[in-house]
Amino acid sequence: MKRVALLALVSYLPMTAAQHWLYFGTGADGVYVASFDDQTGAVGPVRKAAEVTRPNFLAIHPSEDRLYTVNRLAKDGERLDSATAFRFDRASGDLTLINQLETQGSGSCHVNVDSTGRMIAIANYSSGSLESMTLRPDGGLGKNASFFQHRGSSVHPRQAAAHTHSVNYSPDNRFLMVADLGMDQLLVYRTEPEKGSLTPHDPPFVPIEPGSGPRHFSFHPNGRHAYVVNELASTITALEYDADAGAFTTLQTVSTLDAGFDGENTTAEILVHPSGKYVYASNRGHNSIAAFTVDADSGRLTALQRPSTLGDWPRNFRIAPGGRFLLVANQNSDQVVVFALDVATGRLTPTGGAAEVPAPMCLRFVARR
């Protein structure tokens, strides 16, 4: 745990290289890219980096020279899901296609690469399934290695069946955490990177309160706490994590909304600040970022602020390298908005900076060369 905390602290310290590439996954036909200055928060001109259909979510290889998407693939008039591998040039930001492989489930919505760079995991929302693929030495997609069809339901009308929504590897890479919105469960799988495969763990899951709809997940840098954002209930579940056992204990559930809000809302993304002091979650409908302070000992959350995202339907957001800016992807208003993040207080303030991107759904940073 001490080593995990030290790595988190190092990643939080300001970097000497001020420039990064910012990649945008979209609901349009392309991955887009722009330069980003993590000293000023300025986003450069946006351009299309690769032509690919609906690359809604992105993941970066640990080597930082390959990028993966989950997307739709048209074939004989039928819409099929796929994963796509790209190689990118860190000097120019350009993407070059390596290969594409059809997924075994439908509604592919989330992808992550393990820390060894030998496998990816994919969440398939529509079919309620989980799968993994091997990665070739050149970074290309190898083969389908594991597939699990989730079966279950819960109390909300949208929970008549399983809806797998996100995949996140544990800090030590031994486990994969899988949020299933339809079953109200955070499932745990053991990883086998050398085979690119997954195995159900025991205990197999931690239950989330019925009707919550767990969507996305984020570990605290200390490796002892984690947080699930619940789409249907607009809440966050705080968890204590036993890394040796790969098991969770529920600590707390808090709302992402103001007490007086009575409109429709669903949550989308959740992230812990690299310092470990703050947690942020996005509200779609309320169109805000819910900010919380974190108690260093218990991991419990206290509401801090809920600033407007200055756009419609904040699907995803990302904390920039250095931890001093937070960028929000407002999907329905085709814009990415930049906020200054006060590392002393955790509070967000819009900088006035923004970028026009068609239906932005995912943001990822890569250091430039």
In this prediction, residue 358 carries a pLDDT of 98
Residues 6+ apart with CB under 8 A from 26: 32, 54, 55, 56, 357, 358, 359, 360, 361, 362
Question: What pLDDT score was predicted for residue 4?
Answer: 39
CA distance 322 to 13: 6
Q: Is the pLDDT of residue 1 over 60?
A: no
Per-residue pLDDT, 73? 72
CA distance 326 to 315: 14
Q: Is 4 strand, coil or helix?
A: helix
Q: What one-character-per-residue DSSP string does 224-270 give?
A: SEEEEEETTTTEEEEEEEETTTTEEEEEEEEESS-TT--S--EEEEE
Task: Specify the pTM.
Answer: 0.94
Q: State the number of CA atoms in the 13 A half-sphere of 335 facing the CB.
A: 10
Contact 43, 353 (CB under 8 A): yes
What residue numbers bound the domain in which 131 lies? 2-367
Angle at 215 between CA 200 and CA 155, to 5 degrees: 90
Residue 80: the pLDDT is 77
Backbone angles phi, psi at 165, to 5 degrees: -120, -25
Q: What's the CATH code of the domain at 13?
A: 2.130.10.10
Q: 22-50, pLDDT tens digit by residue?
A: 999 999 999 999 999 999 999 999 999 99
Residues paired with 79 in a beta bridge = 74
At 50-107, the pLDDT tens digits run 999 999 999 999 999 999 999 977 666 666 799 999 999 999 999 999 999 999 999 9
**Cβ 272 vs Cβ 220: under 8 Å:** yes
Tally of structural domains, the chain: 1
Assess contact for 358 and 334: CB atoms under 8 A.
yes
Helix (H) or strand (E) holding 131: strand 129-135
**Mean confidence (pLDDT) of the chain:** 94
